[in-house]
Amino acid sequence: MKSLKAFVSALALVVLASGFVAPSLAQDKVEVKIDAAQKGEPISPLIYGQFIEHLGRCIYGGIWAEMLQDRKFFDAPSVHPWELLGNAKFEQAKEGAFVGEASPKWTSENDWAFGVEQEGLSFVNGKEYVGYVWAKTSEGQRIAVRVLFDNGKRFIELPLTEAVETADDGYRKYAFQFVANGLLDPIEKGSFAVLFQGKGETRLGTASLMPGDNISGMRADTIKLLKELNAPIYRWPGGNFVSGYNWKDGIGPRDRRPPRKNPAWQGIEHNDFGIDEFMVFCETVGTLPDVAVNTGAGNVELALQELEYANGSADSEFGKIRAANGHKEPYGVKHWCIGNEMYGDWQIGHMSTDKYALKNNEFVDSFRKFDSSLTLISVGAVGAWDELIMRQCADHMDWVSEHFYVQERENVAEHVALIPNSIRRIADAHRKYRKEFKELEGKDIRIAMDEWNYWYGPHVFGELGTRYFMKDGLGIAAGLHEYYRNSDIFVMANYAQTVNVIGAIKTSATNARFETTGLVLKLYRNEFGEIPLKVEAPKPFDVAAATTADGKYLTVAVVNPTDKAEKFSFGVDLKLAKSAKRFVIANSDPKAFNDPDSEQKIDIVESSVDDFAQGVEIAPYSATLFKAEIER
């Protein structure tokens, strides 16, 4: 016995000398304390906001249902994605163009077929498709559309004989529809062609092809998920895009709106989704609009005209235009962003801080003169920019915008912590401004974090279309917890961006699916409470708690960023019902992900637990939310 003691003592000296620390035995339970008497300010529902921009496949290819690329022929059909068919003489003609700067024109001296074709389209067996073509043909010429499947071995050809509309410039609109029956696979690649035949001059204006189940031009599968996401507000149209965007390009007859080079990003801006479509989008998914105006290349006159178009009476100058476009009643947009990231040299119209302060104040004065009840959001950025803006614009902002993006850490707990740490850093900076700047005395300028997310990895889903993993969902959950802990200073947060582009939802040509980040946003938005409570929990776990506004339920959310299941107990001075609901988003692999064209690996799994406060197991790499009824 004496020799054993001596051995243990000697071993202890060796351990201390080496610096090695033996791992401690895990406690039976991770103890969490919830103080129901210490309540924070109510959590703003706008914390669950979203942001969509004209970038990559966020709108076109994500929300918008149009299947054809470059349907207005911004580029000549000899340029991808269109190919010329036949041997008729072709030119991209400026004179007599249907839309934009030029339109396809052919001159045929024989009766051979000619036209354009676009390959690589995806069709679903048994699904209906609808479309139309605007064209101007010579007498006796024939027009048809053709859809090829199985490398041209099977096809659908539809002669277009009856025009449904004729324009003053001689162009005629031909509509068509078909069902993709008899495909060899449930989803099959195919091509779409517009064909002409006969002698004479022929002009092609635009073409369109959409699934028949589109909802006001939007994808039904994406809209279904957006409704489940239930975001209360959407910021639009940018982002960097807005600083080069003329909103007038996006109104009026959709086929006559000019295509443009995207001013900030790659590709073409079709102008099919303008302010009217955005308002229909908001109505369809049940959300509020938050419109950013152009303070880069734009000016206050352009912004005021947009404001009047959105909110003016039907007898005002731009309200009349809105009414003529089919929307007599004003939209009543309350939230307006005065520009985007004007501090950045990547921004069109980038300017110094003092110049933006002057521009912001000019815009705000004009907007308030139009309607003093508007909520106006100025551009912020923690550091030297904010230190000047918060002083010079304190009387000319209701909220201040902040943005952040983080990348990746190999260690999962460190990766998860990137998001809440960034939120806390920005909150702490603004608390400091409130203490130090006399211009802020008596004011309550809250933060609108109208862009926030992870941003790293390859672009799997188009431009900036990064894939998200289980560990990213955990970080977004921990970020929501940090917003709750600072509910007195954050009034809005807009996850950037909703679809495909660093998005919560990813789409392929025929499917749409929630990323892990989207599942988290959906779960918390629909189930987490509104009155935050003080919580004490050991790291690396992130725990938040809140009661519902009506006081009927306690909700507790736990992020476990470790590879081990842990037993948790929750000390809370409330009498709770014996059974509680449990919602779990988890996967044992932190790099697991969902893909729109594969079987779903990660979802929200609902179950029930008994006496959850006394002890429940939290899965590894998981976000778990409990909802327990409070007994009175």
Which of 306, 308, 451, 566 is labelled catalytic? 451
| Residue 291 neighbours by CB under 8 Å, 6+ apart | 235, 236, 237, 275, 278, 306, 310, 333, 335, 336, 337
Q: Is 117 annotated as catalytic?
A: no
Check if the beta carbon of residue 496 is closer than 8 Å to that of residue 52: no
- Comparing CA positions, the residue from 57, 441, 425, 42 lying closest to residue 266 is 57
**Distance (Å) of CA 514 to CA 493, 531, 558, 584:** 19, 27, 21, 15
Please state, in angstroms and rounded to a whole number, the distance separating the CA atoms of residues 210 and 224: 17
Q: Is 451 annotated as catalytic?
A: yes
Please state, in angstroms and rounded to a whole number, the distance separating the CA atoms of residues 378 and 397: 6
Q: Exposed e or buried b for every residue in 384-394, given b needs 16+ CB within 10 A?
A: ebbbebbebbb
3-state secondary structure of 432: helix
SS (H, E, C) 58-105: CCECCCECCCCCCCCCCCCCCCCCEEEECCCEEEEECCCCCCCCCEEE
Give the count of alpha carbons within 13 A of 628, CB side only. 24
Place of tokens 């960023």: 561
- Give me the DSSP letters along 150-206: GGGTEEEEEE--S-SEE-TTS-EEEEEEEE--S-SSSEEEEEEEEEEESSEEEEEEE
**Structural tokens at position 550:** 């009506």
Which of 53, 66, 341, 566 is labelled catalytic? 341
**Structural tokens at position 258:** 């000019």
Check if the beta carbon of residue 226 is closer than 8 Å to that of residue 215: no
Active site residues: 341, 451
